[in-house]
Structure formats: C-alpha cells, structure tokens
Structure 1
Amino acid sequence: MDEFRPDGRPIGLLVKIYPKLSETFILEEILGLERLGQRLHIFALAPPTDAIHHDAVARVRAPVSYLPMPALATAGQFLCAHARLFAAAPLRYLGALRAALARDGGLIDFLRAGWLTRRLQQAGIGHLHTHFISRPADIGELVSKLGLPFSISAHAKDIYLSDPADLARKLRQARFTVTCTEYNRHTLARHAPDAVLHRMYHGVDFERFSPRLREVPSDPPLILAVGRLREKKGFDTLIEAARILRDDGFAFRCEIVGYGEEHARLDGLIAAAGLRGQVVLAGKLPRDEVIARYAGATVFVQPSRIGQDGDRDGIPNVLLEAMAMQLAVISTIVSGIPELVRDEETGLLVDPDHPTALARAIRRLAGDPALRTRLGEAARAAVAEGFDNDRNLRLLRQLLENSDECPVSAPGSASLPAAARRVAGVR
C-alpha cells in the first residue's frame, strides 16, 4: 500500500457521479493526489449508476458525501444551511441568489450550493475543485459567490457543448482552470482570454498498465477498441473498416469494449455487414478485464471524430493505457489526440470518418511486427515523458495549495507537434 502522509487543509472535490466506471481519469487523479499527501473530501451530485466499478475505488481514502436534492424530507437541512449563510453575510447571500435566479435551473443549484458551502465550512475546507465545467462548475460558481473559492477541471463534452457566455463567466469566476489538452486550453482562452488557464495532461498508472503483462499476439490478430458507445468515438467507422478488411480476405477478430446509447445502432451495423462473431460488442467490463484485452491485442484503434453536436474527445485515457502497455495504436487527427499520437513516431494517425484509410493502417500494423514493436516502445516512452500521473498532479496540488495567490501563467504551445498545433488552430 502507498504511504499516505496527509498535510494541510483538506480540499473539496465536486463531481457529477462517484464512482463512475468510464471516468477513470478522475479516479486516477484522486489516487494520485492522495499519494502526494493531499487530503480530500469527495462530494458528488449523484450516487453511482454502474452495477460494477473499478477495484481501485477501494484504495481511495477520502470520505464521500452526496448532495441531496431539495425535497420535503431534506427541507430542514437546506433551511438550516441557508439560514446560517444569510445570517453570516446577508448582502453576499442575496448577491449569490440574484446571480442564480438569472439562469435556468439556478434556484435548485443555489439551494444545493448553500448546503455544500455549509458542509465545506463545517469540515474546515477552504477550497472547492470541480470536475467538468457544466453542472458541477455551476454549483461551484455559486459556492464561490457564497464565500469559498473554487476551481475547475474542464475536459471535453462539458467544454464543447456549453453556452459560450456561461463558459466565459465560469472561467473568469474560478481561481484557475486546468484542462487536459493544449487544444482545449486554446479553445477556452478564446472564450475568456483573461482567465487563468493551465494545461494538465491526465496521467496513467505505469505499474497497472505495464508491457510485462503483454501476451504473444493472437492469431488471427485482435483489433481492440475501448470507450463509451457514442457518436464522437467513431466506432461505426471501425465497423466499416472491418467490413473492408473482411472483404479483402484479411483474417482478424475485433472487440469494442464499452457501453452507451449507440449500442443498438452499432449492433445493427455489425449484423448488416455480416460481421457477427468477428466484430463483438463486449459491453461494460471492470478494469482488470480491460487490461487483459490490452494484453492480448495486436492493434488498438481509437477512431474519434467531432460529433454533429460539436462534442469531441480530448485525449482519451484509453489511448494512454494502451500506449503505456506498448500496444501499437491507430487514431485520428482530432482535438488533442495528435499531442500524444505522433504519426509514424508513437502511432499511426488517419483522418476521421475514413474507413478505407483506417483499414489500410490496421492491415499494415497487423502484418508488421517490427513496426508494432517500434511504435509500441516509442508510445510508452511518450506517455512516460509527458503523462506521468504524479508529476502532472504536482501542478494541480501546487495550484490548490496556493489558490489564494495568483498562479503562474500556463505553458504555451511552442512544444506541440505540428499536427497538434494545426488541429488546435495554433500557428
């Protein structure tokens, strides 16, 4: 077990749902901060909805509290919390209420923010960090108006599906915002140039995702993809690429691990292409079983795209996991992915929504063990260099410790690969 040496005041961490199977990046952040000695108290807007969860959740030491929804049964809790806040600073309280009523759903958020502010005060917590710039940051912003500072971790959907004015307001109100790609940082800076923004890549547990777990690649080769079954993941492109490979006489197996709203549509595409048994939707799996899939795979594919609603990935954590295991990867020139996957260096990149190019890349990697070895070794080295969890989280811990001060300016984009600068709109 890791040595735990907590020091300083605890930090409040507000998330949507805890624990959540698909949000391994939040779990890794919590574990990493605790390894660095940071005391945490986790607050969640809702309890878990998954029937299973990662076994690493049991290693989290932080207490967990769930924000109640306003109802008759909880009326006393809300009344007590809000009465205390009003009595302590009536003008500040009324200013926060006025700000909440100016936006949709603001009253409910205000009631929950008051409950949370009082709990933070009682626990001696002086700063709230929120994951996602959507509803958690809405509540975090109101907590700050009620007297406690807050900060934000912004990721993907929460950035690209947010109203620009709401986005800019929350960015300016937060003490600082961290985001997981340089692409995201430039996007946020366009909305709020005066906000304090930092790029902080997600990290990966190198012990858990290790090449020593790799097996001899299966015959026929296993093509693996992992992720939520959503439009932005581009799994329909992978299914079409699989059809092209099958029609060309190329033998393979393909597994897509994950769950989501696209399951029925993807299953129909597999059936229509005559790929039943060759392309499998493996469903929701715990982390150990996902690692076993990485261990036996020949090629990992992340065919991300920008969805019709504008949603897109940042840098998917599954790419970090696969690359940490020295698995050769293929992905697309979308969002922050080229910051990690450099074409012909740490993996192969193709255009999104291009099944012919994807099929060609899969066939090339599957048939060239030397190329897979070279790209896999470079992939693990790239993850070790830029995506070490503890090293990256030291930035977040420093920002949290110094949240009352003005943080140093965020890193620039000069070191970005050319493909990443092009995608991010950086020249």
Structure 2
Amino acid sequence: MPTDRKIAVILKGYPRLSETFIAQELLGLEKAGHELVLIALRRPTDGKRHPVHDEIRADVHYLPEYLHEEPLRVLKGLVRSLPKPGFWKALGLFVKDLGRDLTRNRFRRFGQALVLASEWPGDPRWLHAHFIHTPASVTAYASVIAGTPWTCSAHAKDIWTSPDWELSEKLGRARWTVTCTRTGYEHLQSLTSQKARVHLSYHGLDLERFPRFDGEHSSRDGSDEADPVRIVSVGRAVGKKGYDVLLQALALLPEDLHWRFEHIGAGELTAKLKVLGSELGISDRIAWKGALDQTDVLAHYRTSDIFALACRVTADGDRDGLPNVLVEASSQRLACVSTAISGVPELLVDGENGRIVLSEDAKALSLALEQLIRDPEGRRRLGAAAEKRVRAHFDHHSSIEQLTTLFANEWKAA
C-alpha cells in the first residue's frame, strides 16, 4: 500500500543474525510500498548476514553507541535541539524518568534522541521503534522533541525486563503498540487503560524463504551407531535459551541410543556450554556450528530429525516470546520439542504437533527426546501437523497487512 509517509524504524542493532523476524518485516513493509529509513543504536557485530538483509533497500544510519565516543556529535545534537518546540517537554520527561532510573543508560538514551532529532536522517514523518525498552525510549524522547508521532513493536525481553511504570507510560505515549505473543499482549493490556492501542500480531514466517520440503526426514531410531539420530537447535547461547538444561537432558538419554547434537548460533555462554558438555561426557556427540546464515540453517532443518529448544525464564525476567526458529523448523516438517514458556504453546500443542515439557525439567525433556528418537513415524506425524499449522496461521503476510492497515488508519485520521 503506497504512502507518502516515510517511516524511520529505530532498532537496537542492525543487521543482526538473531533478528530475522525484524528483517523480514522490514522487507515486507517495503514490498507493501512503504518507504523506510533505518536508525540503529548499535553497529553490527555479526560476521555474516542473511540474504534478506541484502534485499532491504532502506538507508541505514547509526546513532552514537556510547555518548563519550562521539561527544561533538552529541553536543551538536543538543545545540540543534534546543530551539525545537518540544525540547523542554522532552527534557522534563527525561528528568522524571531519571528520578526512577538513575543510570548511564538513561543518559545515553536521551543523548541518542538528541542526535536523532537534530540529524533527522531521511526526513521521516513517522517513527517506529522495534523493542519497547531502549529503542522505544530513544524514539519517545525524539518524538516529543521533533513533534513526530511514533508507534512500537514489543517482543519478549523488552517487555519482561522493563518496569511496569515505564511500559505503562510508553503505551500511553505511542499511537499504538503491537506484540507477538498472547502472553505479552495480555500483560501489556493490563498496564494501560487504552487497551485498543495494543494489538496482537504474530511475526509469522516468509514462506517463500522456507518453501515446502519435498524430501523425507529419516527413519533413524537411534539403534545404529554409524547413523545416529540428528538433533539440532538454533539460538544464541544465552541464559533464556536453556542450553544447559538441554545438555543435561541429552546426558540423561539411555546409553543404547545413538544421537548427535548440533548447535547453530553464537553467544556469550558458548565456552561455558562446551565445558559443561565435557563434564557431562557428551562433548564427542556435539558439534558447535557457530552463527550460520538462513540458507545454511534451512539445510540443517531438512537433514535433521529433531529440533530442540529448552526455553526458560531467567532471574531478571528475560524470556523468549515465540522463537522464530520453532516456526522455521516446523515449516520443514521437523519434529520439535520445547518448553511451556511464553508463546511456545501458541504454536506447539503437546502430542498433537510437537512435544512440550515444563521448563527447567531436564528429566522430562530427556524422556520426550527419547520418545522422539525411538519413534520416526511419530516424528513424521508431529512434523506434518506442525507444518500444517505454520502454513495456515503463521504466514508473515498477515502481519504485514495488519501493520499496513494500522499505519493507514493513523494517516487517514491525520
């Protein structure tokens, strides 16, 4: 749906291998006729890119990641923002927020907003923040300074690690907010009186990039040492992914079963997980693949037998929403086992199209894995049902149409 409104999308970092759902949304909006400019708070740290990143046409601009690294740029932002009608109101909001969150991060957010409002890359007429924590803070301040409306996409960590007061105020300031799981949607709705401004919008999957798998998954059942069952997981090596629990579950599998586990992804806990694998005596059955692009990930889905992800809630409240990798794996008829966290049960129903166990329960996870390993026909049945659900309910075109309608309704009213 073409529009003369250019949207500045504020992102925490870009491009990021772990955020393909954002990249496919950006490309979808462009294909729908929206003109975008991307504003990132951090420069990329991944060594690779997904093919989708090369298809996005929008210009990318980077704000100072740390204010002390570009002091002149921040000072210019302050000088240029001072005459703007909304500067003093934004400063008042910042001071109020600072009283409840006296951190360097809070100063950084306001400094980045000054740079954004003063440089105004691409001369946008709308601001849209991806994530309701840091990017939304920068966006909210810049919106007040420049007098430009803003909207927001909230996801998982940003919801569950933000204080309620901050979420509530941002929900009141944004024209609308979308989020990608029912649990997140219900939580956000509970924090605002303007419930109609909060919308549930599943990211979905670009099914053109994950076409139907015409082949067949194997009949491996763990009995052949020369041809072990292949278990794969895709995700950053961070606490909320529960890889320590998954390794413990693998170590509990009966000795007569033959399996191999492959992990795809980078992350801060990789070294510790490798040590844990050695301590558990299973390191010779594990391959740590590191970060791979979408094409390689798709190939692994198709040659594996089981996808496993042991999602959990961490001590600070961080958790997944609905991990896109579960949707991806399901689209390839790959039997999945995961945990009853956040949006996972919105995709997988235990025994119908996957296996769901309680979080932190390594024994239950191990039993579910054992059952899947020993039962290739059961894996095929679950995988087929999962694919059917994904292709019926998780096509990302639906979310793009929903976003386009939300933007169009705002602009008609303007």
The answer, yes or no, to whether TM exceeds 0.5 is yes
Instruction: Give 1:212 shift.
Output: 2.3
Q: Map 1:324-335 onto structure 2 (within 5 A).
A: 324-335=331-342
> Could you say if the C-alpha distance between residues 227 and 400 of structure 1 is closer, same or farther in structure 2, counting changes exceeding 3 Å?
same
> 1:93 corresponds to which residue?
87
Q: Map 1:29-108 onto structure 2 (within 5 A).
A: 29-68=25-64, 70=67, 75=72, 78=74, 82-89=78-85, 92-102=86-96, 103=98, 104=102, 105=104, 106-108=106-108
In structure 1, C-alpha distance between the alignment counterparts of 2:300 and 2:258, rounded to whole Å: 18
In structure 2, C-alpha distance between the alignment counterparts of 1:352 and 1:178, rounded to whole Å: 26
The yes-or-no answer on 1:221 pairing with 2:257 is no
Residue 114 of structure 2 aligns with an amino acid whose one-letter code is G
Contact 1:225 1:302 in 2 (8 A): yes
Instruction: Give 1:72 shift.
Output: 8.5
Secondary structure of residue in 2 paired with 1:280: strand
> 1:265 corresponds to which residue?
272
Unpaired segments ≥5 residues, structure 2: 221-226
Residue 59 of structure 1 aligns with an amino acid whose one-letter code is E
Contact 1:100 1:109 in 2 (8 A): no
Instruction: Give 1:117 shift.
Output: 2.4
> 2:388 corresponds to which residue?
381
Instruction: Give 1:267 shift.
Output: 1.1
The yes-or-no answer on 1:242 pairing with 2:250 is yes
In structure 2, C-alpha distance between the alignment counterparts of 1:397 and 1:137, rounded to whole Å: 20
> 1:180 corresponds to which residue?
180
> Could you say if the C-alpha distance between residues 78 and 357 of structure 1 is closer, same or farther in structure 2, counting changes exceeding 3 Å?
closer
> 2:208 corresponds to which residue?
207
The yes-or-no answer on 1:399 pairing with 2:406 is yes
> 2:224 corresponds to which residue?
none
Residue 137 of structure 1 aligns with an amino acid whose one-letter code is A
Contact 1:36 1:390 in 2 (8 A): no
Contact 2:5 2:126 in 1 (8 A): no
Identity %: 37
In structure 1, C-alpha distance between the alignment counterparts of 2:159 and 2:206, rounded to whole Å: 26
> 1:141 corresponds to which residue?
140
In structure 1, C-alpha distance between the alignment counterparts of 2:412 and 2:171, rounded to whole Å: 16
> Could you say if the C-alpha distance between residues 150 and 345 of structure 1 is closer, same or farther in structure 2, counting changes exceeding 3 Å?
same
So what's the TM-score if we normalise by structure 1?
0.87
Instruction: Give 1:301 shift.
Output: 0.9
| Cα deviation code 1:159-202 (max 9, x no counterpart) | 11112211211111111111110110111122224251111101
In structure 2, C-alpha distance between the alignment counterparts of 1:213 and 1:44, rounded to whole Å: 39
> Could you say if the C-alpha distance between residues 162 and 406 of structure 1 is closer, same or farther in structure 2, counting changes exceeding 3 Å?
farther
| Cα deviation code 1:216-247 (max 9, x no counterpart) | 436311011111111211111211121111x4
> Could you say if the C-alpha distance between residues 12 and 359 of structure 1 is closer, same or farther in structure 2, counting changes exceeding 3 Å?
same
> Could you say if the C-alpha distance between residues 127 and 379 of structure 1 is closer, same or farther in structure 2, counting changes exceeding 3 Å?
same
Instruction: Give 1:156 shift.
Output: 1.0
> Could you say if the C-alpha distance between residues 295 and 213 of structure 1 is closer, same or farther in structure 2, counting changes exceeding 3 Å?
farther
In structure 2, C-alpha distance between the alignment counterparts of 1:405 and 1:363, rounded to whole Å: 56
Deviates most, 202-211 or 173-182: 202-211
Q: Map 1:104-119 onto structure 2 (within 5 A).
A: 104=102, 105=104, 106-119=106-119
Residue 351 of structure 2 aligns with an amino acid whose one-letter code is E
> Could you say if the C-alpha distance between residues 307 and 128 of structure 1 is closer, same or farther in structure 2, counting changes exceeding 3 Å?
same
So what's the TM-score if we normalise by structure 2?
0.90
Contact 2:74 2:114 in 1 (8 A): yes
Secondary structure of residue in 2 paired with 1:312: coil
The yes-or-no answer on 1:367 pairing with 2:374 is yes
Instruction: Give 1:271 shift.
Output: 0.3
Secondary structure of residue in 2 paired with 1:349: strand
Instruction: Give 1:387 shift.
Output: 1.2
The yes-or-no answer on 1:350 pairing with 2:344 is no
Give RMSD over aligned pairs: 2.2
Secondary structure of residue in 1 paired with 2:249: helix
> Could you say if the C-alpha distance between residues 72 and 301 of structure 1 is closer, same or farther in structure 2, counting changes exceeding 3 Å?
closer
Contact 2:206 2:397 in 1 (8 A): no
> Could you say if the C-alpha distance between residues 216 and 109 of structure 1 is closer, same or farther in structure 2, counting changes exceeding 3 Å?
closer
Instruction: Give 1:325 shift.
Output: 0.9
In structure 1, C-alpha distance between the alignment counterparts of 2:372 and 2:90, rounded to whole Å: 57
Residue 145 of structure 1 aligns with an amino acid whose one-letter code is V
Equivalenced residues, count: 398
Deviates most, 213-222 or 264-273: 213-222
Contact 2:153 2:177 in 1 (8 A): yes
| Cα deviation code 1:26-63 (max 9, x no counterpart) | 11111111121211111111110111121221111111
